[in-house]
Chains A and B, each alone.
Chain A
Amino acid sequence: MKIEKLLHKLQAFFDTEKHKKRQHIEELKRILLKLKKKERKITYILQQTDDDCLTKHYQTELEIIRVQRKKGIEVLQQLNERKKN
């Protein structure tokens, strides 16, 4: 049983298509993490800013990051579902 499982894992590792999918998911996760960090950073900068134009700019940036993250999470969920199937 153990050998069978090991072989299965090896087969999956050497399967290029699956490997690519896995890599894609990893990259997506990394970008989402970066976006999350960026969101925190911008929120902090926004609290420090008293300039109207800059405030508006950072608010826009935050909103854009939120939508990008939402989009990213949806893509990630779809990829994970496909992986399970």
Chain B
Amino acid sequence: MHKALLLIVIPLLSYGFWLSEEFKGIAAGVSIFLFGMLSLEQGFKAFTGGVLERILQKTTDTTWKSFGFGFLSASLMQSSSLVSVITISFLSAGLLDLVAGIGIVFGSNLGTTTGAWLIAGLGLKINIAAYAMPMLVFGVLCLFQNGKQLKGIGYILTGLGFLLLGIHYMKESFEHFESAINLAEYAMPGVKGLLIYTALGIIATIIMQSSHATMLLTITAVSVHQITYDNALALAIGANVGTTVTAIIAALGANVQGKRLAGSHLLINLSTGIFALIFIKQFGIAVDIISAKLGIADTDNALKLATFHSLFNLTGIILFFPFINQQVTLLERIFIEKRPAIFKPIYLDPSAMDFPETVVESVRLESIHLYENAIHIILHTFGLHKRDLQKNDSLKQLIDQNTQPIEYDIDASYEKRIKGIYSAIIAFISQAGFTWEMTQSSRLSWLREANKHLVEAIKDTKHLQKNWGRARSSTNQIRIDEYNKIAYQIVLHIQKIETFRHKIAGNELPLLSLDTLKASIKNDDMQMNRAIETLIRERKISPETGSSLINDSAYMRSIKKDLLKAAETLFLHRNIGDADVEDQLSLNETEINDVVHTMDTQ
């Protein structure tokens, strides 16, 4: 929620709580319910890639199987809305696709009609809220266990418990309004009666948070002739529409897929309801015929209502089930997934394809574009901007003084700033083909490698980010200092690469400057590891912190190496200025190692 909106909502809610106890109960019920949804989603996520995914895949790989899955679950749970809510969390966790989800909704719509048969035939009343407390107890017990799957089960059980508890609170608070609904008061014939009773069915189901409860109320009322049979049919239609509200509430906390499913549930039940209202007379006749065949007495309005409930839901399925794919298209148009603005390639013009040199130069420029974005991500991870690189002496201060937690989503930035450009570069290189001279081919191959190094550098930064973030909130100042040192060394390296770029522009022996950067990487790594060993020996940090620091200094080394390799390919033209002579003086690997070793022994 937008922060400004939150500032309005909180005082409004507080005022509402002060005004009405019932309102407080309903709001608390909705909150507990939504918390249950989050917990359920978290639980299902623990099973992604595991048993649950395989079971779901096998039971929902065709729409008919999804339908069966929905029918069985709703029949067992006696609640179509609970099945929809769980399906929404499956969808949000990425365990199901929308087509399978809609199949389940269709199935649950039919499954829930078994409730009317149970009530009318056996007088059964299943109170699912009674399961909330044991679920919460067992759920919390599982949450305290170590295993990932046990924790997942814990989240699922507490999630279900909170869902039911939330429904219970909503029901309790609505009781005040429930007493105001006296069905007999509104008994009326004709179209007007039909519409009013449908609306009453919707309202009653929203209030009681259960179509099952509305059906119980309706069947009881019709069996004691408190309401007419026609009005009872309208109430059943209303209950079917009203039951979708639970899924809509659940979708508030879900992602776009969840919202699409809730939309589908509403669409199916509303369309079926409208269809049933239009053809109510025909439905009445059909119910009479079927009831006669089933041996139901003409006066047994309760069982006839159960027949109607099943019949009109079945009609809805027959009418709309074949159009699942069209529904998906429609819902995808209504609920558009918000994607972050993605950076697009600037230099990859198809016209450049005609000439080998222009292809190479286009790819090089685009790779520099990618390099700039990669640097942006790395600097932002450490709470810095590119402009900070110009503040020569204060870089360390900037890192040390920034004690605020830095919440930077590298994955989202990767999707936004890197993936599109990187994919375009790879596609461009592949399209260019390798029909030209070897020079161009090998240069393209080097450029591809440079891009790969940039992506690797971002991946390593992501690994590093986790421990760096943790260390910053630590109470051990030495640990904080060591991690800040890692961040500083990476940023300093980026700054030196920028200086190297300027040296190329000013022809200030760029090739020879590379040797210093290469030696610095080795030197810093050696110094860092030695410092960590000393800190462990002197018991200033724990061995666990020490091992994390050693791993993370390895990431630091990889990031620096990858950035330098990319920069060398992207910025250095070996055919300009004094490049040949510079090449003669530049140091090889052994000579650089000797320098590092000499410095180390000094």
Most chain B CB neighbours (cut-off 10 Å) among A28, A54, A67, A71: A67
Which A residues, 1 to 50, have Cβ-Cβ distances below 8 Å to chain B? 24, 27-28, 30-31, 34-35, 38
Would you mind naming 5 contact pairs between A and B with Cβ atoms under 8 Å apart?
A56-B520, A56-B527, A64-B519, A68-B586, A68-B587
Q: How far is the CB of B368 from chain A (nearest CB, A)?
A: 25
In the complex where A31-B509, A67-B591, A67-B595 touch, is A60 in contact with B520 (Cβ < 8 A)? Answer: yes
DSSP majority for the A interface? helix
Chain A: residues with CB nearer than 8 A to chain B?
24, 27-28, 30-31, 34-35, 38, 51, 53-54, 56-57, 59-61, 63-65, 67-68, 71-72, 75
Of residues 514 through 558 on chain B, the ones whose CB sits less than 8 Å from some CB of chain A are 515-516, 519-520, 523-524, 527
Interface flag for B270 (CB, 8 Å):
no
One of A53, A61, A64, A71 near B492 (C-beta < 8 A): A53
Q: Is B571 an interface residue (CB 8 A)?
A: no
A54 and B587 form a contact (CB under 8 A): no
Question: Once the chains bind, are A67 and B587 in contact (CB under 8 Å)?
Answer: yes
Which residues does chain B contribute within 8 Å of A54, judged by CB atoms?
492
Determine whether the beta carbon of B523 is less than 8 Å from that of A30: no
A27 to B496, CA, bound (A): 26
Set A27, A57, A65, A75: member contacting B578, Cβ < 8 A? A27
How many B residues have CB within 8 A of the partner chain? 31
Given the contacts A61-B516, A67-B591, A67-B595, A53 and B585 also touching, CB distance less than 8 Å: no
Could you say which residues of chain B place their CB within 8 Å of the CB of A56? Answer: 520, 523-524, 527
Do A60 and B509 have beta carbons less than 8 Å apart?
no
Q: Tell me whether A27 and B516 are in contact (CB under 8 A).
A: no
9 further contact pairs, Cβ within 8 A, besides A60-B519, A64-B592: A27-B581, A31-B509, A35-B585, A51-B396, A53-B488, A57-B516, A59-B599, A61-B516, A63-B598
- Known: A53-B396, A53-B485. Is A60-B584 also a contact (CB below 8 A)? no
Nearest CB of A to B424, in Å: 36
Among A35, A51, A64, A67, the most chain B Cβ lie within 10 Å of the Cβ of A64
Instruction: Tell me if B585 and A68 are in contact (CB < 8 A).
Output: yes
Contacts of B592 in A (CB 8 A): 64
Interfacial chain B residues near A72, Cβ < 8 Å: 584-585
Distance (Å) between the CB of A46 and the closest chain B CB? 13
CA distance A24 to B581 in the complex (A): 7
Least CB separation from A66: chain B residue? B595
* Contacts A38-B509, A51-B396, A53-B396; A60 near B595 (Cβ below 8 A): yes
Q: Across the interface, do A31 and B595 meet the contact criterion of CB distance under 8 Å? A: no
Q: Does B388 have its Cβ within 8 Å of any Cβ on chain A?
A: no
Of chain B, the residue at the smallest CB distance from A50 is B393
The reply to whether B515 and A31 form a contact with Cβ atoms under 8 Å apart is no
Question: Does A68 contact B512, Cβ atoms closer than 8 Å?
Answer: yes
Least Cβ–Cβ distance between B205 and chain A, in angstroms: 67
